[in-house]
Amino acid sequence: MIEAELKALLREPDAVLRRLEDAYGPGRVEVYRDTYYDTPDGQLAAYDRELRIREVAGADGGRTVLLTYKGARVDEASGSKPEHETWVADGEAAHAIVRGLGHRPGLVFEKRCRTYAFEREGRRVLATLVRVAELDGVFLEVETAAADERELPAALAAVRAVLAGLGVAEGDLTTELYTDAVAAARIRRQGI
């Protein structure tokens, strides 16, 4: 499965929030605590791959854990990547397993999210407003799944239609990874 996703830095986050709420009702509010792992010599990042454990805290007090592997980008323009993700029953055990396999935690940060799930052109779509404390602004991620690279253009067209309907311009899109942006922000903060 390929995660067909586009991300934008919003110029008018309140207007986009209103459009989402009007169209899809109240979003699901959650806090993600993402831990990215890599090999000691950085081979995952060097080859544009990601290994992540995400701990999700819901507004209702519920907690879930996801283990995710993302392969290298298959589309440079969007940054879309093959993604394999599964729920994990025990977060501590998942961290211990990944560390036991020789991976080291690299970057850990939180994302405050409001997610809307809906159907568009026969596809399940997620639109997520994201705030990362260490980054300026509010981001919008819109994603759906593509079975393979042949289906990716149609999936991305559906994502672009959602963005256009929310008033997000093509020029507001970014392919910068949160991990890269957070790492750069931490370096700037340290004055390096």
CB-based contacts of 84, cutoff 8 Å, min separation 6? 1, 68, 69, 70
Q: What is the pLDDT of residues 111-150, one digit of tens each?
A: 999 999 999 989 999 999 999 999 999 999 999 999 999 9
> What pLDDT score does 85 carry?
97
Q: Where are the domains of the chain?
A: 2-190
CB 104 within 8 A of CB 37: yes
Give the confidence band of 192 by pLDDT, cuts at 50, 70, 90.
Answer: low
| Tokens encoding 11 | 């110029």
Of 67, 121, 64, 122, nearest to 96 by C-alpha is 67
Q: What is the pLDDT of residues 59-102, one digit of tens each?
A: 998 999 999 999 999 999 999 999 999 999 999 999 999 999 99
> What pLDDT score does 145 carry?
97
Q: What is the pLDDT of residues 15-38, one digit of tens each?
A: 999 999 999 999 999 999 999 999
Q: Which CATH superfamily is domain 2-190 in?
A: Hypothetical Protein Pfu-838710-001 (2.40.320.10)
**Alpha-carbon gap, residue 139 to 147, rounded angstroms:** 26
Q: What is the pLDDT of residues 148-167, one digit of tens each?
A: 999 999 999 999 999 999 99
Does the reported pTM lie above 0.85?
Answer: yes
Query: How far apart are the two ends of the chain, measured CA to CA in Å?
Result: 39
Reduce the DSSP state of residue 75 to 3 states and report it: strand
Of 179, 149, 163, nearest to 73 by C-alpha is 149
**Alpha-carbon gap, residue 186 to 39, rounded angstroms:** 21
**Alpha-carbon gap, residue 114 to 57, rounded angstroms:** 12
> What pLDDT score does 121 carry?
85
Q: How many CB atoms lie within 10 A of CB 52?
A: 19
